Amino acid sequence: MTELHWLGAGEAARAIAARQLSPVELMQALLERIGRIDPRLNAFIRLDADAALDAARAAEAELAAGRIRGPLHGVPVGIKDIIDVAGLPTTCHSKILVENVARADAEVVSRLRGAGAIVLGKLSTHEFAIGGPSFDLPFPPARNPWNRDHHPGGSSSGSGAGVAAGFFPLALGTDTGGSVRNPASACGIVGLKPTYGLVSRRGVFPLSYTLDHVGPMTRTVADNALLLNVIAGHDAADPGSAPGPAGSFDHLLDLGIGDLRIGFVRQFHETDLVADPEVAAALEQVARTLAEQGARVRPVALPSLTEFAAVNRIILTSEAWSVHAPWLRERPGDYGQLSRRRLMAGAFVSAGDYVGAQRRRKEMIAAVQDAFRDVDILLCASSMEPASAIEDADATARTYPRQARTLFNVTGHPALAMMSGLSRNGLPLSVQFVGRYFEDATVLRAATAWERASGGPKHPPID
């Protein structure tokens, strides 16, 4: 059997169900690894080791009694610390909420527990999912397992670092401007921002009601589909929730891509934001490989990244200000410098600016929808260069906005980021696949084709 810390969620679940792997054995192996390596990476804000071991023992007892709770029975999962886990603090990585103990599980956590998953603890994030990477917060920022001197992306930073480092096979992140896909890109894992409304946000601290998504983060595409199977579904208590299509998200993974039409949005990395040559070369390799597998690849043009980013910024900062205004007036010094500066911008956005951005958003949605008349999948860049050094604030400020992710928060289409290769200095490069509304399964299908052609997931040299 593969080393336990590199077991995928599906592999672990099947081995546990077949009584070939003990949930306690798996949990102990992961806790040992976390204890040995996480002091260098800071993926966890709070490791709930005793409760996780107790849950693993309970899962083992249920197996002995012939009961399996669901498709993730005994499988560990990490939770980004803006998502509520009953009895644990939801701090949002901030002094503002450092004593904020959740009274109930978020809907996504409840679904995970119902499927048999075991919560390992709460994971590092950028403060309130917007301010980071920062060194002036109650907890240190997470670091990249491929090179701890570099950032792991954000804001779901601990989720990306922990999955990549082999601390857990599954994690939940959130994505308002790319915060699932940025760490997936930086850490070389698979991160999906599902169709807007497909996954409940109840029990998740909001950043922008219009743009917020919860998404699965895994090492493989199959595990991403497995996790989405569990967390997706309508939640009448979430006003943004939408009834999705019936069925699972893994039923297309083995079909290949011979009948798919793929639109390659070269403009994003060639003219809108000129990418690092290694990023561009890797994207071309992905396109060639998918064409060799039978997909029909053709160029597609969309509105500029600059305009998408402006619309995202106006909506995000306006809605975030509505959430944070009372604390920013009463406790501004309790925020980190980055998040305070970014959140304060919302105070200076007019109602007319906000309405205008929402109006332009509708037009941008129509432009992307129009592109999907002629293609089934969009292929484009995610990050325009590998992760910068975490302590080089100028480089991070320059490179963080150089990405093609925020537009799909504006439009709400499902978008997945994953590794496209490694740079000369050993850092992950990335690619993004995007699909029609509620065709998340087709996005996962295209990603599977690339994953298999590229030789499967790669592990960082962290041991």
Q: Say which of 94, 155, 382, 430 is annotated catalytic.
A: 155
Beta bridge partners of residue 298, listed in sequence order: 263
**d(Cα 9, Cα 227) in Å, to the nearest integer?**
9
Instruction: Give 459: exposed, middle or buried? Use CB within 10 Å, 0-12, 13-18, 19+.
Output: middle
Q: C-alpha distances in angstroms, 261 versus 284, 327, 444?
A: 16, 49, 15
Q: Which residues contact 166 (CB under 8 A, 6 or more apart)?
A: 3, 5, 6, 30, 33, 459, 462
**d(Cα 16, Cα 298) in Å, to the nearest integer?**
44
Instruction: Give 387: exposed, middle or buried? Use CB within 10 Å, 0-12, 13-18, 19+.
Output: buried
Closest CA to 134 of 400, 423, 383, 428: 400
398 Ramachandran zone, left/alpha/beta (phi>0; psi -120 to 50):
alpha
Structure tokens at 17: 């169900």
Closest CA to 377 of 296, 294, 281: 296
**d(Cα 275, Cα 90) in Å, to the nearest integer?**
37
Q: Say which of 94, 124, 134, 179 is annotated catalytic.
A: 179
* Phi, psi of 346, deg, nearest 5: -65, -20
**d(Cα 284, Cα 419) in Å, to the nearest integer?**
13
Q: Say which of 80, 95, 122, 193 is annotated catalytic.
A: 80
Among this protein's residues, is 155 annotated catalytic? yes
Question: Residue 65's CB: how many other CB atoms inside 10 A?
Answer: 7
Query: Is 51:76 a contact under the CB 8 Å cutoff?
Result: no
- The helix (run of H) or strand (run of E) holding residue 299 is strand 296-299
Could you give the angle at the alpha carbon of 416 between the alpha carbons of 411 and 419, nearest 5°? 140
SS3 content of the chain, % helix, strand, coil (to 5): 40, 15, 40
Counting Cα atoms < 13 Å in the Cβ hemisphere of 66 gives 0
Beta bridge partners of residue 430, listed in sequence order: 419
Query: Is 171:395 a contact under the CB 8 Å cutoff?
Result: no
Token look-up 């997470």 returns 142
Structure tokens at 64: 């002995």
Query: Is 134:336 a contact under the CB 8 Å cutoff?
Result: yes
Query: Is 193:440 a contact under the CB 8 Å cutoff?
Result: no
Among this protein's residues, is 156 annotated catalytic? no
Q: Which sequence positions are flagged as catalytic?
A: 80, 155, 179
